Amino acid sequence: MKLFLDTANVDEVRQGAAMGVLGGVTTNPSLMAKERGADFRQTVIEICELAKGPVSAEVTALDTAGMVAQGREVASWHEHVVVKLPITPAGLAACRELRGEGIAVNMTLCFSVNQGLLAATVGATYVSPFLGRLDDIGHDGMALVAELVEVFRVQRFETQVLAASIRHPLHVVQAAKVGAHIATMPFKVLMQMVQHPLTDVGLERFLADWERREVPKPALA
Ligand code: E4P
């Protein structure tokens, strides 16, 4: 399973990339809006350069023609751009068209197996089930991820399941166990994955022991 960052913050992408674990990045209009004053195009290009992998950039048009036009535009910014479209009737039609032109598409805001099936049917490169938002309303978000993985495998769809709306490190473990192809997470969750108090204590002890070691005295000439 590849690990993506769910952010529009260039600095977070830089830090994730420096760790060597970053497979790609997902953004959305809300994450972009958090980066006050940032230029959409510039930010996406900068993130693509750092991530060196797929970077989802979402369109804001609601009609098929508008989505296709915006999709072509964002896809022209960088080879790593993946056009992010909502799973709506217009979004499905736009996905079919953009995929026909060889443009990668991430179909987002997936909350049911049927939505995922439709996205795969129009050739989506990725489909993003929002598991945290389902958990928030008392549903089992991870069950949707697992079902999508199974359906795509049984039906031999090439569409990849991109587990999104991840809230904590346990979500990442569970997504890996059920076979998600990708998990996209906030920077905070990525840092929680790497941190463990016993690692800190162990490292401190190793270094203290190293400092206290007995060193051989230099022989007299
Ligand atoms: C995925 O591509 C979305 O950007 C994201 O995971 C949404 O997560 P949220 O529910 O934390 O906003």
**In CATH, what number is assigned to the domain containing residue 169?**
3.20.20.70
Q: Is 79 part of any domain?
A: yes
Q: Which domain holds residue 188?
A: 2-211
- Name which residue sits closest to atom 7 of ligand 1, judged by CA: 165
DSSP 96-115: HHHHHTT--EEEEEE-SHHH
State which of 28, 84, 134 you would mutate to test the pocket of ligand 1, scoring each by most atoms of that ligand within 8 A of its C-beta: 28
Q: How far away, in angstroms, is 198 Cα from ligand 1 center? A: 31
Mean pLDDT across the stretch 16-45? 97
pLDDT at 216: 82
Q: How many domains does the chain have?
A: 1
- Name which residue sits closest to atom 10 of ligand 1, judged by CA: 165
Mind listing the pLDDT tens digit for each residue in 86-127? 999 999 999 999 999 999 999 999 999 999 999 999 999 999
pLDDT at 215: 86
Average pLDDT value over all residues in the chain:
97
Confidence of residue 132 (pLDDT cuts 50, 70, 90): very high
pLDDT at 220: 77
User: What pTM, to 2 d.p., does this model score?
Assistant: 0.94
Q: Residue 11 pLDDT more than 90?
A: yes
Burial (CB < 10 A; 0-12, 13-18, 19+), residue 59, is buried
| Percentage of residues of the chain with pLDDT beyond 90 | 96
Mind listing the pLDDT tens digit for each residue in 184-200? 999 999 999 999 999 99
pLDDT at 113: 98
Q: How far away, in angstroms, is 6 Cα from ligand 1 center? A: 7
Q: Is 202 part of any domain?
A: yes
Q: Is 159 part of any domain?
A: yes
| Helix (H) or strand (E) run with residue 182 in it | strand 182-185
Contacts of 133 (CB under 8 A, 6+ apart): 111, 141, 165
Catalytic residue numbers, as ranges: 84
Mean pLDDT across the stretch 65-87? 98
Q: Is 220 part of any domain?
A: no
User: Which residues form the pocket of ligand 1, taking CB atoms under 6 Å from any ligand atom?
Assistant: 6, 26, 28, 108, 128, 130, 132-133, 164-165, 184
At 4 the three-state DSSP class reads strand
Q: Is 108 part of any domain?
A: yes
CA distance to 3, 55, 151, 215, per residue, from 168 (Å):
13, 22, 25, 45
Q: Is 217 part of any domain?
A: no
Ligand 1 closest atom vs CA 30? 12
Are 7 and 31 in contact, with CB atoms under 8 Å apart?
yes
Say how far apart CA 112 and CA 106 lie, in whole Å: 16
Q: Is 22 part of any domain?
A: yes
Confidence of residue 22 (pLDDT cuts 50, 70, 90): very high
Mean pLDDT across the stretch 52-78? 98
Q: Residue 219 pLDDT more than 90?
A: no
CA distance to 9, 33, 52, 95, 181, per residue, from 39 (Å):
12, 10, 20, 25, 30
Contacts of 152 (CB under 8 A, 6+ apart): 116, 120, 159, 160, 161
